[in-house]
């Protein structure tokens, strides 16, 4: 059998890299999308190709550029002439207090979390339909319960949630479209970094009283990729945080 092909955005590091590895282990050929993390992406592809030849490749694109998103879709199809699975994982995440927020922040957060994902789906829909494929969007539990201080991010993820439900209807019955909504898995970096006290407070508001792991997300992605009678669903992988009553 031919190996199925998966395109994973934001795949060089963190959760995206873990998803990529697990898909590869299940026999997928993987297209590793990156923007700034090109070195990490190339290292990952080199490692995977050393273990199974012609099983991984890297495509670089800025998801803020519609032209580059269009090129990414075209180049992804050129790799192995098909796309069986699209994982919209790439995301920008940083605070945007309402009074200080800018149009540039709006564009970056909406583009990376929603617009690029939508147009990748649109441009890969034909191949996904031919392959009876699957789209999985990495959403966030804050798509339903806004994260204070992060209004633009929360709005963008809410849009991605509705996109998941909408495209499940648009692409049925050939293509399944689902989402995974992580809770506290890996702590944010750079401008979004939080203190150990804040981390402890977040963990305390999960029912399981701990953080999850990137493997928890990747395993849920694999489940949805393989489960052929689920579409239009979003699974929260959050240790029960979305049920926690304040």
Q: What is the pLDDT of residue 1?
A: 53
Percent of the chain with pLDDT over 70: 99
Confidence of residue 60 (pLDDT cuts 50, 70, 90): very high
Pairing verdict, β 5-8 and 29-34 = parallel
Q: What is the pLDDT of residue 245?
A: 58
Over the stretch 147-199, which tens digit does the pLDDT of each residue have? Answer: 999 999 999 999 999 999 999 999 999 999 999 999 999 888 877 788 889 99
Number of Cβ atoms within 10 Å of the Cβ of 127: 20
Sign of CA dihedral 137, 133, 221, 223: positive
Instruction: Tally Cβ neighbours within 10 Å of residue 155.
Output: 18
As a whole number, mean pLDDT of residues 92-114 equals: 97
Where are the domains positioned within the chain? 5-243
- 181 phi and psi angles, rounded to 5 deg: -115, 95
Rounded to two decimals, what is the model's pTM?
0.96
Question: What is the pLDDT, as a whole number, of residue 71?
Answer: 98
The answer to whether residues 181 and 238 touch, using CB atoms and an 8 Å cutoff, is yes
Distance of CA 76 to the CA centre of its chain: 16
Q: Does domain 5-243 have CATH number 3.40.50.720?
A: yes
Torsion 46-47-53-57 (CA) sign: negative
Per the annotation, the verdict on 153 as an active-site residue is: yes
Alpha-helix residue ranges (DSSP H) falling in 81-136:
103-110, 116-130
**Which is catalytic among the residues 28, 94, 153, 244?**
153
**Terminal-residue alpha carbon distance, the chain:** 51
More confidently predicted of 220 and 1: 220
């Amino acid at each position: 059998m031919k190996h199925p092909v998966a395109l994973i955005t934001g795949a060089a590091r963190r959760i995206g890299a873990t998803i990529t590895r697990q898909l590869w282990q299940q026999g997928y050929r993987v297209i590793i999308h990156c923007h700034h993390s090109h070195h990490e992406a190339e290292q990952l592809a080199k490692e995977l190709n050393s273990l199974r030849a012609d099983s991984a490749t890297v495509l670089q694109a800025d998801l803020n550029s519609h032209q580059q998103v269009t090129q990414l879709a075209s180049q992804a199809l050129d790799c192995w002439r098909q796309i069986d699975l699209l994982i919209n994982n790439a995301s920008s995440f940083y605070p945007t207090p309402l009074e200080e927020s800018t149009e540039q922040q709006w564009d970056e957060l909406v583009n990376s979390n929603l617009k690029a994902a939508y147009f990748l789906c649109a441009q890969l829909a034909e191949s996904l339909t031919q392959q009876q494929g699957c789209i999985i969007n990495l959403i966030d539990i804050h798509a339903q319960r806004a994260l204070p201080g992060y209004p633009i991010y929360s709005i963008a993820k809410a849009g991605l949630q509705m996109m998941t439900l909408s495209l499940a209807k648009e692409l049925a019955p050939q293509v399944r479209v689902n989402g995974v909504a992580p809770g506290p898995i890996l702590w944010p970096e750079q401008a979004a970094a939080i203190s150990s006290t804040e981390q402890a407070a977040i963990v305390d508001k999960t029912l399981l009283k701990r953080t999850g792991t990137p493997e928890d997300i990747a395993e849920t992605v694999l489940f949805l990729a393989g489960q052929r009678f689920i579409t239009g669903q979003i699974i929260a992988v959050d240790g029960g945080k979305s049920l926690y009553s304040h």
